């Protein structure tokens, strides 16, 4: 009897010791170790890392935003080696620039902006400048007028008072670039009822075209990146841009905020 | 034979008789505890989901380590991207001439004198008419202002216009020989002229009422005051951007 009383606490001690090994391991690895690791991590990356309150997702977003900006600037730099007039479209700040050799010679503010389509990977898509492939326009690229030389001085004198033609038509054109980008430019406030009507007509056609493309893409399961950008500029800007760019003009694009 | 019990000096029975139970070995109790502990852990983790989630929320905190590393990597990448952006921006900034330069808008018939990003002067001008002049004997010219980047190649005071063939064709006159005296006209190009290649000039005009309209044969006509300003501000070799 005496023997039982002495041995019992020792047994329980060993039992508790055995019990505490797995339970202690679990508790340690679940609660204490991570805290120590976190504390060490903070010590290690203190200063170099962003503050704790900035989430990784936010940083990743910032990185992608910067990647887009870098691609845009690098494209501008690449285009500056060309002798031609180039376009840079900054959808972030709603600006369209005409550039020659890297110098922004004209800045046009966008009066309206509409974007349709989808681009799965923006960074990849805008990596290189876009190249103009096709143009549809309501105005002529070069307003050439053919004049037959006068036969003599009398005829020349008679012609002196000829009026210089003034272009009054609607400025509305679509620039189709490679890699699925199309840019439609319209003048924001066309003069006269005729021009308004023409604008409405072109608008309707454009809307139908976009709808049809979306529908056919869904039907055929196409997933190529395609972006239709519609912008409105002042009449002078719209005309200047169209007349300035060459046949195979290059364009670089900075996507708007919130695409990532 | 009679068994004889032996007694210890204290009188306790020793050696003989039924032997006492051996004391249980402590490792058995330890093993039992270990087993029960493991069982408890397994049962807890398998069946008590909320408890498991609560207990192992600590494990997700190990991702703090990974998160800190990722945050650090991202921060480094962001810093590098910012450096690259700054470098590319600087290179682009260097493309803008430091000295005054000229920008000509042929569509709006406007001329700008700029330094850096600042516009020093803006004025109306006249640029190419896009007239395609054809003669009955097959000669033709298109009068347009070229686009792109050019330089001021020469600056002249009181320039003399050496009339090209088309000037005579336009007036219905016969084309004189190359260095004929009637080819030289004085005072029609204004006080100053800046040449930018292939016979193209920025010059003055007598036809002030046509300023701001596309009426020239490719040259850029500017009003007298603006021309003087351009001549005095823009140095030889300065860049001219025409779009």
In this prediction, residue A192 carries a pLDDT of 87
pLDDT recorded at residue A29: 73
Locate the chain A residue with the closest alpha carbon to B109.
A240
Assess if residue A78 is contained within a domain: yes
- Does some domain include residue A22? no
What pLDDT does A191 receive?
A: 87
Domain for residue A67, yes or no?
Answer: yes
Put simply, whether B72 touches A (Cβ < 8 Å) is: yes
Total of domains in chain A? 1
Confidence (pLDDT) at B61: 54
Q: Mean pLDDT score of chain A, rounded to an integer?
A: 87
Query: In chain B, what residues touch A29 (CB-CB under 8 Å)?
Result: 58-59
Beta strands in chain B (DSSP E): 101-105, 110-115, 118-126, 131-134, 140-143, 148-151, 154-157, 160-162, 184-186, 192-195, 201-203, 220-222, 239-242
Q: Which residue of B has its CA nearest to A154?
A: B172
Cross-chain CB nearest to B130 (options A17, A145, A153): A145
Instruction: Provide, as residue numbers in chain A, all residues whose Cβ is less than 8 Å from the Cβ of B148.
Output: 83-85, 100
Among candidates B59, B89, B169 on the partner chain, residue whose Cβ is nearest the Cβ of A73: B89
Residue A46 banded pLDDT, cuts 50, 70, 90: low
pLDDT of A161 above 90: no
pLDDT for res B59: 55
Instruction: Check CB contact under 8 Å for A70 and B84.
Output: yes
Minimum distance, in Å, between the CA of residue B115 and any CA atom of chain A: 12
Closest partner residue to A144 among B130, B148, B215, by Cβ?
A: B130
Cα–Cα distance measured from residue A126 to residue A181, given in angstroms and rounded to the nearest whole number: 10
Residue A221 lies in domain:
56-254
Q: Is the pLDDT of residue A218 over 50?
A: yes
Residue A69 sits in a domain whose CATH number is 2.40.440.10
User: Inter-chain contact B133–A147, Cβ cutoff 8 Å?
Assistant: yes
* Touching B: A residues 119-158, CB under 8 Å: 142-156
Spatial separation of the C-alpha atoms in residues A168 and B171, rounded to whole Å? 29
Q: Is residue B15 exposed (0-12), middle (13-18) or buried (19+ Cβ within 10 Å)?
A: exposed
Instruction: Give the pLDDT of chain B (243 residues) as one tens digit per residue.
Output: 444 444 444 444 455 555 556 656 778 888 999 999 999 888 877 777 766 666 666 555 556 667 778 888 999 999 999 999 999 999 999 999 999 999 999 999 999 999 999 999 999 999 999 999 999 889 999 999 999 999 999 999 999 999 999 999 999 999 999 889 999 999 999 999 999 999 999 999 998 889 999 999 999 999 999 999 999 999 999 999 999
Give contacts of B 122-161 with A, CB under 8 A: 129-136, 142, 144, 147-149
Q: What percentage of chain A has pLDDT greater than the value 70? A: 90
Q: Which of residues 173-202 of B touch A (CB under 8 A)?
A: 173
Q: Which residue has the tokens 């004209």?
A: A106
Cα B45 to Cα B51: distance, rounded to the nearest angstrom:
7
In the beta sheet, which residues pair with residue B216?
B128
pLDDT band of A48, cuts 50, 70, 90: low
Residues of chain A neighbouring B68 (CB-CB closer than 8 A): 38, 41-42, 44-45, 49
Kindly determine whether residue A66 and residue B210, on different chains, have CB atoms separated by under 8 Å: no
Full DSSP string of B45-103: HHH-HHHHHHHTHHHHHHHHHHHHHHHHHHHHHHHHHHHHHHHHHHHHHHHS-SS-EEE
Q: Is residue A27 part of a domain?
A: no
Tell me which residue of A58, A139, A113 sits closest to A253, measured CA to CA: A113
- Contact list in A for residue B27 (CB cut-off 8 A) is 14
Written as six digits, the tokens of A152 are 């003599």
Cβ of residue A33 closer than 8 Å to a chain B Cβ: yes
Contact A42 B72 (CB under 8 A): no
Q: Would you call B56 an interface residue with chain A, using a CB distance cutoff of 8 Å?
A: yes
Q: Does a structural domain hold residue A29? A: no
pLDDT digits (tens, 9 = 90+) for A97-117: 999 999 999 999 999 999 988
A1 touches chain B (CB under 8 A): no
Residues of chain B positioned with their CB less than 8 A from the CB of A14? 26-27, 29-30, 33
In which band, very low, low, confident or very high, does the pLDDT at A1 lie, cut at 50, 70 and 90?
A: very low
Q: Does A6 touch chain B (CB under 8 A)?
A: no
Q: What is the ipTM of this complex?
A: 0.77
Best to test chain A binding among B12, B26, B76 (most A CBs inside 10 Å): B26
**Residue contacts between A and B (CB atoms, under 8 Å):** 228
- Inform me whether the pLDDT recorded for A36 exceeds 80: no
Smallest CA–CA distance, residue A224 to chain B, in Å, is 28
Residue A187 lies in a domain: yes
pLDDT confidence of residue B2: 45
How many angstroms away from the CA of B156 is the closest CA of chain A? 26
Asked if residue A148 belongs to a domain, the reply is yes
A17 CB-contact burial (10 Å; exposed 0-12 / middle 13-18 / buried 19+): middle
What confidence score (pLDDT) does residue B125 get? 97
Measured between CB atoms, which of A11, A26, A83 is closest to B148? A83
Contact A236 B91 (CB under 8 A): no
Confidence (pLDDT) at B21: 61
Q: Which of B33, B105, B142 sits opposite A18 (nearest CB)?
A: B33
Task: Tell if the CB–CB gap between A100 and B29 is shorter than 8 Å.
Answer: no
The predicted pLDDT at position A56 comes to 83
What local confidence, expressed as pLDDT, does residue B1 receive? 44
Determine the pLDDT at residue B16: 52
Cite the beta strand spans of chain A per DSSP E: 85-90, 95-100, 103-109, 112-118, 130-137, 145-148, 172-177, 181-187, 226-233, 250-254
Q: What is the pLDDT of residue B192?
A: 97
Q: Does residue A115 or residue A46 have the better pLDDT?
A: A115
Q: State how far residue A92 is from chain B, nearest Cα, in angstroms.
A: 16
A13 domain-assigned = no
Residue with tokens 């959808």, as numbered in its chain = A91
């Amino acid at each position: 009897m005496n023997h039982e009383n002495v041995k019992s606490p020792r047994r329980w001690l060993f039992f508790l010791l055995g019990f505490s090994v797995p339970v202690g391991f679990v508790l340690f690895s679940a609660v204490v170790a991570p805290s120590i690791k976190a504390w060490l991590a903070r010590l290690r990356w203190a200063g170099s890392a962003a503050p704790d309150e900035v989430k990784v997702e936010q940083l990743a977003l910032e990185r992608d935003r910067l990647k887009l900006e870098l691609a845009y600037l690098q494209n501008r730099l690449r285009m500056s080696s060309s002798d031609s007039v180039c376009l840079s479209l900054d959808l972030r700040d709603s600006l369209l620039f005409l550039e020659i050799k890297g110098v922004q010679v004209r800045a046009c503010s966008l009066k309206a902006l509409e974007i349709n389509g989808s681009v799965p990977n923006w960074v990849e898509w805008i990596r290189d400048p876009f190249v103009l492939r096709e143009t549809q326009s309501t105005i002529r690229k070069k307003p050439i007028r053919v004049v037959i030389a006068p036969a003599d001085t009398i005829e020349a004198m008679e012609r002196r008072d000829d009026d210089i033609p003034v272009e009054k038509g609607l400025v509305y054109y679509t620039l189709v670039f490679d890699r699925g980008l199309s840019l439609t430019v319209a003048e924001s406030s066309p003069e006269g009822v005729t021009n308004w009507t023409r604008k409405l007509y072109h608008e309707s056609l454009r809307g139908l075209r976009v709808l049809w493309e979306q529908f056919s893409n869904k039907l055929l399961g196409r997933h190529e990146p395609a972006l239709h950008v519609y912008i409105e500029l002042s009449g002078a800007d719209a005309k200047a841009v169209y007349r300035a760019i060459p046949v195979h003009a290059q364009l670089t694009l900075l996507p708007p905020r919130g695409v990532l | 034979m009679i068994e004889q019990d032996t007694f210890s000096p204290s009188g306790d029975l020793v050696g003989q008789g039924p032997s006492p139970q051996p004391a249980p070995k402590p490792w058995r109790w330890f093993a039992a505890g270990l087993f029960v502990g493991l069982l408890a852990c397994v049962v807890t983790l398998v069946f008590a989901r909320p408890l498991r989630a609560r207990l192992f929320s600590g494990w997700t905190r190990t991702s703090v380590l990974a998160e800190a590393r990722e945050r650090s990597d991202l921060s480094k990448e962001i810093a590098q991207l910012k450096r690259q952006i700054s470098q590319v921006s600087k290179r682009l900034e260097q493309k803008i001439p430091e000295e005054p330069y000229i920008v000509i808008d042929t569509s709006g018939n406007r001329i700008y004198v700029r330094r850096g990003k600042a516009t020093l002067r803006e004025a109306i001008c006249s640029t190419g008419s896009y007239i395609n002049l054809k003669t009955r004997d097959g000669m033709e010219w298109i009068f347009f202002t070229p686009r792109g980047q050019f330089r001021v190649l020469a600056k002249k005071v009181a320039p003399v216009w050496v009339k090209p063939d088309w000037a005579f064709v336009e007036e219905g006159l016969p084309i004189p020989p190359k260095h004929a005296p009637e080819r030289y006209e004085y005072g029609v190009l204004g006080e100053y002229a800046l040449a930018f290649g292939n016979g193209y000039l920025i010059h003055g005009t007598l036809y002030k009422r046509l300023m701001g309209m596309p009426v020239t044969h490719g040259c850029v006509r500017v009003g007298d005051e603006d021309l003087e300003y351009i001549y005095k501000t823009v140095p030889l070799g300065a860049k001219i951007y025409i779009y």
